Structure 1
């Protein structure tokens, strides 16, 4: 489902500003008119007009002079996800995977050069994390994302790096292009990827690809604390469960 959009020839500035405001309200976890004006370097009058318009349309809520995104976006996100056939196919296997491992089972797809969590299922022992369905992450920072990159054409990977860079999330994040391409080759060889505290300290993750007609459709992973996700457990328990689940998802995606 990956997309490779380029800059429009004639961008509509009001549309750009509208979505800059929505993204800012998310990143700031809500803001007053003054805070938003300062954050985006736009006049307070403009910020106020945009916010009032978005509030009238139901996309923003205002409480005690602070504005935030509304649950209208949950409706849009739920609709977008429901249209993804892979989601409904993968969900039963993710539930079984989370139950079998007791950890988080995660499904990631690529869109606009970023990884988007299409679904997350929590096992009974899973630790609380900052991730949620719909969240976007840099592909190079996760086992899920590196799995997707490993199966994309090299030219596409280079475009993603050019657009989004290779910023560090922790001291373990790969930030060098040559090192990343070497890692992607290793992932293709062994058909799975690791994230050893590369996005979140204290978290390990192992991921496998989900292929459809020979092309990468998504990646599936199990993640958990370093103290529980060691190599012995990965080899003896987690990888076999992941590969079983991915195989069933691939078959259902291809033949259903």
Structure 2
């Protein structure tokens, strides 16, 4: 029996170095990113890309019916990994040109990747699936909306009353948006009325596979979006705390200056009184 090969890393060292530079690292490492919040954003981006590769790998594995099929998918993954490493190595020749704050890598829903493209074939497990893919808000999106509307613990129950109506409206908006996505996917795969049951049987496996990938990517994007929001909140709180310290220091200095002025005035008045 042939020895089983390994999958390539979910993200390569060259890619991590490249991302670190784009977030402002002076040496291509996370430690080299001076701004602690940009460092955390870079870490979140790295995990987002790892998750994408994990989704790709899981999808490729589902289509393997034999040892040979699995080895073929691993070789494809190694080739893709090597090409990405090569591309990043080329960019790293001039790292100073990469320096920035990473903002272009902090837009999870503007970041198109190959798995976002419609697929036109599915696997046996996708063909055997008889239900309707569940297009429901995932936990990360729910928590994001709750935090966005000032919930202290990221749950719907603790959204303040002043923001409850806005929160409920956003929950309904995103719920209906998911329903629209499901309908559009169904229509792409041949459903005349946008229902999942209306998809022709010949295209059902492809539709089920794409829905599974779409939902996994959506969950990954929502988790990245939530991580970025929490980092931004922490950054704003740190800035507010620093400003409060600065204001307090200014108040102390102003108080000392007033005390010095008052003391000087007292001395001056004493001298004038002695001269009279």
Higher relative helix content: 2
Same-fold status (TM-score > 0.5): no
Instruction: Choose between structure 1 and 2 for higher RCO, CA contacts under 8 A separated by at least 6 residues.
Output: 2
Per the normalisation by structure 1, the TM-score is 0.23
Structure with the greater alpha carbon radius of gyration: 2
Higher relative strand content: 1
